[in-house]
Structure 1
Amino acid sequence: MERISNYQIAVLIILFQIGSTPLFAIGNKAKQDSWIAMLLAAAVGLLLLRMFLYIQSIAPDQSLIALMRICFGKVAGGIISSCFIIYFAYESMRNVRDFGEITSVTLLARTPKFIIMLLVILLAAYTILLGIETLCRVVESLIIPVLFSYGVLSLLIVVSKLINFERIQPVMEKGFLPIIKAALPDLVSFPFGQMVVFLMFWHLMDDNKKVKRISIFSYLGVAFFLIAMNMINVLVLGPALIGNSTLPFLQTVQLIQVGEIFERLDVFVTLLLFLGLFVKLTAFFWAASFGLTQLIGSSTNSKLPVCLVGIVIFISSFLEPNYTYHIWLGLTFSVKLYPIFQVLFPLAMFIAILLRKLKKDSPPSEEAPTLDMSAK
């Protein structure tokens, strides 16, 4: 089985969590307090991450599919695993649709969307067929350009004197309730709760003993970065303008003007958006394909699961009639269902593990089945 290094899993977590998140108007229900809502959601996401890591610790060399069977048995575990595969494929589909729509609007207005979406699906499928190590090497090559670009753009925003701290005042004007409503479940579901997908990746690490420390530090770094980017959008545009914007960071960057030299830098934002979307859709695509491979007992190198999942993702990406409906469905409806996979099922696994451990540790009055950590 292929293995990935500690550095590669850290880089994958960072770019996966960043994705396209800094570019969208998330948490705007809390208006100028959206950064506080992000902070609250990140804290809840950290608790979820600790729970995911505990679940992984019971069988460090097993993926989510095997962990499901350990916790719920072969039949129930298989059914729930099938639901997770559909969830991963759906998440990938949403990113494919985002990729096609935004490319059509910003760069290739005359190119049919289905051509753009077909190309990105084929590219992602090719990367997956080459193996998880190839995917991780691609992510390794992208981490420096992505972080450098965000850093330069943030610096230019400050130099352009676009920051106005009055736009985040008054703090908590309407109390803490609007912040809670903005954070739960929407901001927890996207992006922080999506860390559940790494239950498909962690078992591939070279050194499983460091998975907890690496994952938590990577998560915290990304969380503070996303909070900072959210605050920058509010400080530049203000809550009212962000509420009416699809891509507020793009509007923010369009305002940059330094010495009539650095301006019209929105092309960099577009490229960052493409890179983030590609990493995220490929990670979910890989998780769905690998999960299907394990579920049906196919060969690890089989191309059939990748092809099947890719076809389903591509076809389903056209089911939504337009991009407005796509955004509405994702940010108002889908985020309400994501906790089923990000909270409910993992919590059930966590409780099942605790109950079985308590049963195992209690004085045996009769012979009882124990938790088999080697289940496949």
Structure 2
Amino acid sequence: MERISNYQLAVTIMLFEIGSTPLFALGSGAKQDSWLAMLFAAATGLLLLFMFLYIQRTAPEECLIGLLKLCFGTKIGTGIGILFALYFAYESMRNLRDFGEITNLTLLSSTPQYVTMLIIVLLATYAVAMGIETFSRVNEALLPLIFVSYGALILLILISGILHRDNLLPILDNGLGPVIKAAFPDILSFPFGQMVLFFMIWHLLSEKQKIKRISIISYLSVAAFLILMNILNLMALGTTLVANSTLPFLQAVQLIQVGDILERLDVMVTLLLFLGLFVKMTAFYWGAVYACTRLSRSTSRRLWIFYVGFIIFITSFIEPNYTYHVWLGLNVSVKFFPVFQVVIPLLMFFVVLFRKHRRSETPSNV
């Protein structure tokens, strides 16, 4: 069985949660309070993470599929496990379509979209075939590049004079209603609820006693970063531009002018977007393949890599255009994702608590 180190787990959590999230306008329905919506969703996501870790601690050597079977029995657990495999594959497909569309919009407008997406699927397939340990080492190599790039862009935004604190005011002008509506389920579902994928990874950590501390510290670091990015977008563009922009961070970076020398840093933003999408897409792809191999031990892993990759690639063309793709993701899919991110884990949590309570009562009844 493959194993990953503590540092590799931390890096993978951070890059997975960051993904392409900082580049999009999350919580724009709350206008100047969108950063509060992010904060509320992150706090709720932290509670979810505590629940996930509690469930994982009951069977440290089991992945999500094994935990589902332990909680609900073999037949029901297998059925729910199949649904999770489909969910992971669907999430991977969405990231692949994002990759293809944004590549076509920003860099390779003359290249057929299916060519770009095929290349990305093949790269992700290779990464999945190499295993989670190799994928984690790739994330280790990417972290410094992503960290330095975001740090440089944030510094340039701060010194370029494009930030306006008035864009954050007045706070809670319309009360908590719009903030809660923006936070739940949309922002909770994307990106914080996606931590459910790590049920497939935690059991591979070599030092399991440190899972909780590493996961929580990594999660809090990413949550703080995402809230900061949301605030920067608001201060730079204002609520109207953020709400109407496809990629507000890209638009904010386009405003940077430092001494008439540093400007037009679009390429750096595009690179960050591509790296984030690739990490998240590959992680979900691996999760879907791993779930399938655990559900069907009679089929080889290599075949599942091919089957899942083929399905991800083919289904990514079902949506007729990018506008529909974004609408479906932000208005429909995020309403159903909490079934996998909240409802089913909550049922598992109650089952674990019930069984623990019964075991604690058994000696007194003897």
Q: Give the TM interval when normalised to the shorter protein.
A: over 0.9
Q: Determine the C-alpha separation between the residues in 2 that align with 1:307 and 1:114.
A: 18
Distance 2:246 2:131 in 1: 35
Structure 1: how far apart are the matches of 2:31 and 2:318?
A: 32
- Secondary structure in 1 aligned to 2:301? coil
1:166-185 Cα offsets, whole Å, 9 max, x none, are 01100110011110000011
String of CA shifts for 1:118-140, please: whole Å, max 9, x gaps: 11011001011111111001100
Residue 38 of structure 1 aligns to a residue whose secondary structure is helix
Deviations 1:77-98 (A, max 9, x none): 0000000000000000000000
Structure 1 residue 358: deviation in Å? 1.4
User: After TM superposition, which residue ranges in structure 1, 4 or more long, deviate above 6 angstroms?
Assistant: 364-367
Listed one character per residue, the Cα deviations across residues 286-308 of structure 1 (whole Å, up to 9, x for unaligned) are 00000000000147x73011111
C-alpha distance after superposition, 1:243-291 (max 9, x if no partner) = 1111000000000010111100011000000000000000000000000
| Match in the other structure for 1:109 | 109
Structure 1's unaligned 5+ residue stretches are 368-376
Shift of 1:365: 9.6
- 1:66-215 maps to which residues of 2 (within 5 A)? 66-215=66-215
Instruction: Kindly indicate whether residue 353 of structure 2 is the aligned counterpart of residue 354 of structure 1.
Output: yes
Q: Percent identity?
A: 59
Question: For residue 306 of structure 1, what is the amino acid of its counterpart?
Answer: I
Query: Equivalent residue for 1:287?
Result: 287
Matched, 1:338 2:337: yes
For 2:365 and 2:232, locate their aligned partners in 1 and report how far apart those are by CA, in whole Å.
62
Is 1:318 the counterpart of 2:344 in the alignment?
no
Residue pair 2:157, 2:256 contacting (<8 A) in 1 also: yes
String of CA shifts for 1:182-240, please: whole Å, max 9, x gaps: 00110100000000000000000010000000000000000000000000000000001
> How many pairs align?
366
Within 5 Å, give how 1:11-90 maps onto structure 2.
11-90=11-90
Equivalent residue letter for 1:103: T
Aligned pairs for 1:359-370 (under 5 A) are: 359-363=358-362
2:11 match: secondary structure: helix
**For the residues of structure 1 that align with 2:237 and 2:312, how far apart are their CA atoms?**
35
Describe the SS at the equivalent of 1:262: coil
Q: Distance in 1 between matches of 2:14 and 2:360?
A: 38
- What TM-score does the superposition give when structure 2 sets the normalisation length? 0.98
Q: Tell me which amino acid in the other structure corresponds to 2:180.
A: I
State the shift of 1:366 in Å: 9.2
> Aligned letter for 1:176?
L
Provide the secondary structure at the position in 2 that maps to 1:353: helix
State the distance in 1 between where 2:252 and 2:156 align.
11
> 1:223 corresponds to which letter in structure 2?
A
Q: Secondary structure at the match of 1:100?
A: helix
Q: Structure 1 pair 366/83, CA: closer, same or farther in 2 (3 Å)?
A: farther
Deviations 1:153-173 (A, max 9, x none): 011011110110001100110
Equivalent in the alignment of 2:267: 267
Query: How many Å separate the matches in 1 of 2:271 and 2:113?
Result: 17
Equivalent in the alignment of 1:370: none
SS at match of 1:257: coil
Q: 2:308 matched to which residue of 1?
A: 309
CA distance in 1, matches of 2:265, 2:362: 68
- Scaled by the length of structure 1, the TM-score of the pair is 0.96
SS at match of 2:2: coil
* Shift in alpha-carbon separation, 1:359–1:34, aligned structure 2, 3 A: same
Gapped regions of structure 2 (runs ≥ 5): none
Measured on the aligned residues, the alpha-carbon RMSD in Å equals 1.2
Q: Distance in 1 between matches of 2:155 and 2:129?
A: 39
2:289/2:301 contact within 8 Å kept: no
Structure number having the greater helix percentage: 2
The alpha-carbon deviation at position 364 of structure 1 amounts to: 6.4
What does the per-residue CA deviation read over 1:30-55, in whole Å, with 9 as the maximum and x for residues that have no partner? 00000011000000000000000011
1:363 shift after superposition = 2.9
Q: Distance in 1 between matches of 2:362 and 2:93?
A: 50
For residue 343 of structure 1, what is the amino acid of its counterpart?
Answer: V
Code of the aligned partner of 2:147: L
Query: For 1:54-104, what per-residue CA distance to the aligned partner results, in whole angstroms no more than 9, with x for missing partners?
Result: 111011111000000000000000000000000000000000000000001
